[in-house]
Structure 1
Amino acid sequence: MATDLHLRVITPDKIALDTRTDSVRVPAVDGQMGILSRHAAMVAALDAGVLRWTEGGVSRHMFVAGGFCEVQRGEVRIVTPAGERPVEIDEARAREAEARARERLRVGKSTTGEPLDTVRAELSLRRALLRLSAKSLE
């Protein structure tokens, strides 16, 4: 299969990925969405999750922290607050974030003793687990 798509992942800090690809699968808020060459132009909201693509028949992936996906004229642009390839994910740090979030949920208070924002703690836990999931695919 030809690499007909140009995939770019853009974060506030850097261009996390700039490559040619055969196909892309994004974690849209409505579920996983596949993109092949000649895909119709569109914009989709992304959920935090694992972005997947293929290069020359080899599967690749990275963690994205939500954002937006734009598909237009053979280009797939992902704009996200954070994007990390498995090699960039610090597993110890992700496990610490998971433990902190689980402890906040268990105790019902933030680390400062303030009442817990449960939704925020659950999102922190989910993000840590997704980062660990992306790391495990390395």
Structure 2
Amino acid sequence: MSSELTLRIITPEKVVLDVTAASVRVPASDGSMGILPRHASMVAALAEGKLSYRQGTNAEHLFISGGFAEVRGNTVRVLTGAGETPSEIDIERARSAEERARARLKPRETGLTAGEAQIDLARASAALRRALARLKLKGYAG
């Protein structure tokens, strides 16, 4: 049996990463989850945040925008809307996204129905979480 995992991070546009790793840590929707070789097969919902993996003594980090992780055999597949290394994160764009999301979360008269307002609030909250996760990773790695 192999003592390494194959980690694949896949977005709708491309395969962001395809590497071998000694361990993987994903931001599961109910908390951080570590995955080692010979892990039980599973599927987990992911939150936006930092995905980490270890190759030897080196730890690498990526931002993911949520999604799903499938563990089968010694392969971890992450399906996500976005996956970015710290060097790919545009700090000004992330700060701008944070400001826009915070503005959308402030109480205001919108003319939206209650249902539409709830959807708008949920989208703004998700945008804020993504922006903050990007900024946190950039600060952590940069």
Shared fold, TM over 0.5: yes
Percent of aligned positions that are identical: 52
Give TM-score scaled by structure 1 length: 0.90
How many aligned residue pairs are there?
134
Q: After superposition, where does 1:1-138 map in structure 2 within 5 Å?
A: 4-106=4-106, 108=108, 115=112, 116=117, 117-138=120-141
SS of structure 2 residue aligned to 1:51: strand
- Which digits, 9 at most, give the CA deviation of each residue in 1:14-44, with x for residues without a partner? 1111111010011111111100011011111
Q: Which runs of 5+ in 2 are unaligned?
A: none
SS of structure 1 residue aligned to 2:12: coil
- Which digits, 9 at most, give the CA deviation of each residue in 1:59-80, with x for residues without a partner? 1110111111011111111010
CA distance in 2, matches of 1:69, 1:52: 13
CA distance in 1, matches of 2:132, 2:24: 22
Give the root-mean-square deviation of aligned CA atoms: 1.6
Q: Which runs of 5+ in 1 are unaligned?
A: none
- Aligned partner letter, 1:61: H
- The list of structure 1 runs, each at least 4 consecutive aligned residues, that deviate by more than 6 angstroms after superposition, is none
SS of structure 2 residue aligned to 1:137: helix
- Aligned partner letter, 1:123: A
Q: Offset of 1:137 from its aligned partner?
A: 2.0
Q: Offset of 1:114 from its aligned partner?
A: 5.4
SS of structure 1 residue aligned to 2:106: helix
Q: Offset of 1:85 from its aligned partner?
A: 0.7
CA distance in 2, matches of 1:75, 1:9: 11
Q: Offset of 1:119 from its aligned partner?
A: 1.7
Give TM-score scaled by structure 2 length: 0.88
